[in-house]
Each structure stands twice: as C-alpha cells, then as structure tokens.
Amino acid sequence: MKFLNKSTIIGILLTGLFFIPSCDLVEEPRDSASKDAIFSTEQGLQLYTNSFYDWLPSADDLFRADYVADNAARRDVPPLVRGGVSPTTTDDTSQSGWNRVALGGDVHWGWNGLRNINYFLVNNTDAAVPAEIRQHYNGIARFFRAFFYFEKVKRYGDVPWIDTPLDVEDEKLFGGRDSREVVMANVLADLDFAIANIRTEAEGSRSLITKDVALALKSRVALFEGTFRKYHANGLASGLGSSANNWLQEAVSASQQLMQRNRYSVYTGSGDLSYQHLFLSDDPTSAEDILVRQLDGGIGVRHSANWVLNSATTGVRYNLVRTFIHTYLNSDGTPFTNNPNFETMTFLEEIQDRDNRLYQTIRTPLYNSPRGGIENLRAADWAYTYTGYQPTKFTEPDKPLGQGTVNTNTVPIFRYAEVLLNYAEAKAELGTLTDADWAQTIGALRSRAGITGGLNSLPAVADNYLQSNYFPDISDPVLLEVRRERGIELVLEGHRFYDIVRWGRGELFNRTWSGIYVPQANEYLDLTGDGSPNIYFFTVDPGDNRLPGVTYLDVRSDYVLSESDSGELLWRSNVVKQWMPHYYFYPIPENDLLTNPNLGQNPGW
C-alpha cells in the first residue's frame, strides 16, 4: 500500500520524531527532544499526545461541514451532486471542514497523522513511567486513531488497517485495503481501550480528551456503523447486515453509560432562549457540552460564523429550505403539516406557534437575543439568502456581521443532546425504545424547545409528510420522529451529510431548493410584520418605480416561483442534480492508485 509519494514518506520519517515544540525535557536542548526524553517522563508523553489535538476539527470546520445537506440551499450545486468529483479531482469543494479534510491535515487520502499515533503507541514502553500513566496516554492515542479511522471509513469504505509506524521500504506500503469489518472491529477495540484506560473522567474546560469524550465518540461511531450496515446491507455493506444490531447495541451501551453518570443534562439555564444561548456562550455550557472548540479573542483565536453566515461574498450562502422548515412541529407537539393550508402559508404565518428552535435557528421577527445587539437579525438579508430562511445559529448578535473573523463563542464537537439522540435512534432501530426512554431523550429536547405535547410517550401515528418527503421506506412512527428530532436539534453542527449517507437516502440531495411562499409576484410584501413593505418579487421589471428600503428580486432566471407568478420561491431549479449510488463513497485519488494499484478503486468510479 502507498499512502503518499515516497519523497513525502521519507520526509515524515526523518522529521516525525522531532515535531514536538521546544520544551524542557530532562536536560535535552530546547530545540529538540530525543526519544528517551519523550517516553521516559509523563511530561514527555503529555507533550506528544497534545500534538494530536491539532487534528480535531476547528470551529469553522464544524459549522461549515453542513455545507452539503438536503436541508439547505447554497450559492451553487455541490460538485458531488452534479458529477463534479472524480479520482483526478485535487480537491472536493462539495464539502467543507471535517467532512472534507482528513485527520492529519490532508485532503483526500492523506495518512500523515496515523504514523505519529502509531509511533507513540509502539514506543511508549519506558518502565520509568508507571504503567497506569502510560496506559492513560495510550488511551488518548487510541482515541485519536479511532477517530482517524472512523473518518476514513465513512469516506472510503475499506481502507488499510495499519497499527505500526511503517518504514520507507515496508511492503505494507504497497499492499491492499482491509475489509470494513476488520477496520471497524479495530476501531471499536481502540475505543474500548480508551474508555477503560483514560484516567480523566471529565474536566471543566471541556477541551481535553476524557473518558466521557471517548464514550461520546463510541456512541457516534457505533450508531453510524449499525445503521450503515442495516441500510446498505444489500449494497456497500453486503454481508454485514447481520451484525448491524450488535453495533446498535454498542451505541446504546455507550450512550447509556454517559447518561447514567448524571454529569450532563439538557441545558435549560436561559429559559425559553436556552437553545440559542447554548451556541452563543464564550465558555462551555457545562451542563451539556462534552467536548468543544474553545476560542480566545485575547490571543486572536476566533471563528467566522458571523462572517460566513451573513456575508454575500464569503462562504456558500447556506440557507435552509422550506421542506425542512416544515418539519418543525407546532408548539403543541402536532405536525405543522397537519394544517391543510400549510403549503400556501406566508412566512409570517408559518412561523407562529412553532417549536421555538425555529426562531432561534433562522432570522425571524420573533428572534430575541439573550445579549441584545444587532436588531436586523429579525429579518432575512436578501443580499445573502436564497430562500428567506437565513441561519442565525452561532451568530453573535453583539458583534459585527460580515466583517471578518470575530466570533469567540464555543462550537461543540460533542454535546449531550447528540448522545441522547444516538441512544434514542439506536433503541428505536432495535425496537426497544420505551416511554421512559422517549421522555428522557426526545421529550427532554422538545421540552426545552417549548413544545408541550407528546413529551412522555412514544408516538403512535406515522407522519405522512416525513414519509412522503424524506423516508418513504420507514413506517415506524417512533423512528420517523427520532429522525425529525435529530435533523432539527443538530442542524448546522456537521452531522447531516453523513446521516443521509448512513440511512441510504442520497436521493434527498436531488430535491429542488425551495424558499418562502410568495402569494403573488409584482406586489409589495411585508416579511417583518412592521406594516411596511420590504420586498418585491417581480416578473415584470419595475424600472425606476422603486421604493427606498425595499429589496427587488427578479424571479425569471435563477430564481423562479413554482406557479409562475406565485408559489414557493425556487433557487437554481434549472440545475440538474443527480445522486448516484456510488457517491456514498468517495473515489481513491488517481495519483495514489497509480503509485499502488493494489489499493483498487471504489465501485462506480
């Protein structure tokens, strides 16, 4: 097997031992550290494993990872969905952040980070350090190796399993790939080792790898693998379907262990604004955050949510679509789409008496900041939005919009809500979710969102809208509602693309991007409820007869209305989207195949 070209490998081998920043290690010079110095003290082990943290997703990576999702429109159709990805593609702009960049900092097939992990594990044997301490740091290293391989398997399927630091001439560099079954069994073993051996249960900053973080990763990994094997049993996971329930039970077990620790809870400390405030705090919200990306404006460590989610020239102008907006429940817990007139409701009508996460996720006149600040977050900016459903999640209202990297609010990598959702979904898939489970998981999240009905018992009726628009092969009302809840609760946190992948629902990417309902073109509309017109959708150019303070939007080209002069606002409906079955895996890059044909290409590429 060949991960990198030979010159790159040689460079790594020559420099791999000396990547640790200057430090005072047992009388060694400050600009270098010998192997003995590193592995003979706990300080050396800590310094080495600290380097692995650079491979965690950044705050920007996390919220940008939803750039390819069925629930959102953007400036252009992602290359993956319109056939723009191939083995010769040097970069994949269909995704961003964590879903696109592999651990180790390499786009596509890169394996740099793995050698550093394996080098540490093979050499952490110095008896000068007590075994318990060595095993603690081995647990951290194996956590990162599990994370590394989980991302690789999600993207490519079968990959080579390597657990030693390879030398330049090692024959394994030119070997083939190992089966998904082998790789994921090793990932599970790494996670179980990490959970058993990491000494730190949890810590206040929520920025370090702890036993709790390892449990959260196991919960995520096992749910993914169990559902992938179940819903791809007749295709990409052929022969593995019979083991799906074993993985789902692992997800239940890991989630349950975290839940029973009683260390975390659904954050409700800001009342009706708790969901919104959870994503605006500069400090981790200890009740719910398990691992976060912390920022510090004092040393210039910030992220760019205010810029990316509000600038017409930065990012991809990510906007939620109306089909997804319709999945938010009414505040009494009934489906919004039970209203016979839901399809023709205007924006101001459809946002009333809904799940309060709706107006804490997108700009609406109901937006209410817990910190005061920018009033115009109450109305969509039509220089940015394509649908009228412009995200505010992670946008700090008391800082400038669209003016660079200014955010210091934390962004979660793992939070307790995800663990609850993993638990609920795994048990729903197994058919073992009880009323008590429902109340503890879905009920708790909906209660925070101001929903009053259906919090304590399993749903009995399948929602027709969810079935017809999202999951036609699912008839179980419980599973449908768990998936509804996951989509809403975790929106913009980087989960949606691979949720769609593991459920085998790639066809959702083909959907036309829909926006707000426009009752009539060529008429002034008020989308803020202040009594003054603020937008005019036209099929006949008004020329110079334009009012100040009104946005004029031409609906004759990239924008159109679904019924010609009325209906849903559609964006880029003329661009063909075609999800293909082989898109569930990415291609092995051509350069790597040329170097090592034994890798083989993924089917369809």
Write down the pLDDT at residue 18: 33
User: Token digits for 537?
Assistant: 């959708």
Give the mean model confidence (pLDDT) for residues 551-561: 97
Does the pLDDT value for residue 325 go beyond 90? yes
CB 287, CB 264: distance < 8 Å:
yes
User: Which secondary-structure segment (H or E) carries 371?
Assistant: none
What percentage of the chain carries pLDDT values higher than 70?
91
Instruction: Reply yes or no on whether the pLDDT at 32 is more than 60.
Output: no
Token pair 């049993």 is found at 233
Secondary structure E strands in 417-576: 513-518, 524-525, 535-538, 551-554, 559-561, 567-571
**Average pLDDT score over the chain:** 90
Q: Among candidates 592, 589, 597, which has minimal Cα distance to 90?
A: 589
Highest mean pLDDT of the ranges 75-79, 502-506, 595-599: 502-506
Q: What is the pLDDT of residue 33?
A: 59
Residue 265 and residue 365 in contact, taking contact as beta carbons nearer than 8 Å: no
CA distance 441 to 486: 11
Residue 603, token pair as written in the block: 């089917």
Domain range list for the chain: 6-55+83-234, 520-565
Helix (H), strand (E), coil (C) string for 50-97: HHHHHHCCCHHHHHHHHHCCCCEECCCCCCCCCCCCCCCCCCCCCCCH
Cα–Cα dist 602/235, whole Å: 13
Which run of H or E residues covers position 543?
none
- Which residues does 51 contact at the CB level (< 8 Å), separation at least 6? 19, 20, 116
81-131 pLDDT, tens digit per residue, is: 888 888 886 444 444 333 333 333 334 577 878 999 999 999 999 999 999
Contacts of 361 (CB under 8 A, 6+ apart): 320, 391, 392, 393, 491, 492
Q: Flag whether pLDDT at 30 surpasses 80.
A: no
Minimal CA–CA distance to 391: which of 424, 357, 442? 357
Tokens for 255?
């989630």
CATH number of 6-55+83-234: 1.25.40.390
Q: pLDDT confidence of 8, banded at 50, 70, 90?
A: very low
pLDDT (0 to 100) of residue 6: 33
Count CB neighbours of 312 within 10 A. 13
